[in-house]
Structure 1
Amino acid sequence: MFTIYQTRIEVSKKRYINYIDVFTGLYERVENLCIVKLLENLFRIFYK
């Protein structure tokens, strides 16, 4: 998961590409994971 972002950071050090892209990408990943966790918990509650 993190290797893509690490390489992008390396590239941005050389070419000064926005770090914001990397951080927003990571944030979106974390948000999506949280949504998935919430859905899993809901299914567990309803299908016990």
Structure 2
Amino acid sequence: MSALLIALPGCQKQEGPAEKAGKEIDKTVEKAGQQVEKAGDAIQDAAKGDKK
């Protein structure tokens, strides 16, 4: 059983450069979406006359 647990991580597929780049793009897009949402909230608050 322990030999199986030791060998298992060796079988996992290593990420290539394209997969790493894709994950970075996903993170960047998610952060941008959050910033757009914050800006939208600020615009709505400004339209209502609220200040944060």
TM-score by length of 2: 0.60
Q: 1 or 2, which has the higher helix percentage?
A: 1
- Please identify the structure whose Cα radius of gyration is greater: 2
Residue ranges of structure 1 left out of the alignment (5+ in a row): 1-12
Number of residues of Structure 1 aligned to a counterpart in Structure 2: 36
Q: Which has the higher contact order (CA 8 A, sep 6+)?
A: 1
Map 1:1-48 → 2, pairs under 5 A: 14-17=13-16, 18-48=19-49
Instruction: Give me the identity figure in percent.
Output: 6
Shift of residue 14 of structure 1? 3.0
Provide Cα deviations, 1:4-48, integer angstroms capped at 9, x if missing partner.
Answer: xxxxxxxxx833232001100000000000000000000000012
User: Once superposed, what is the RMSD of the aligned Cα atoms?
Assistant: 1.6
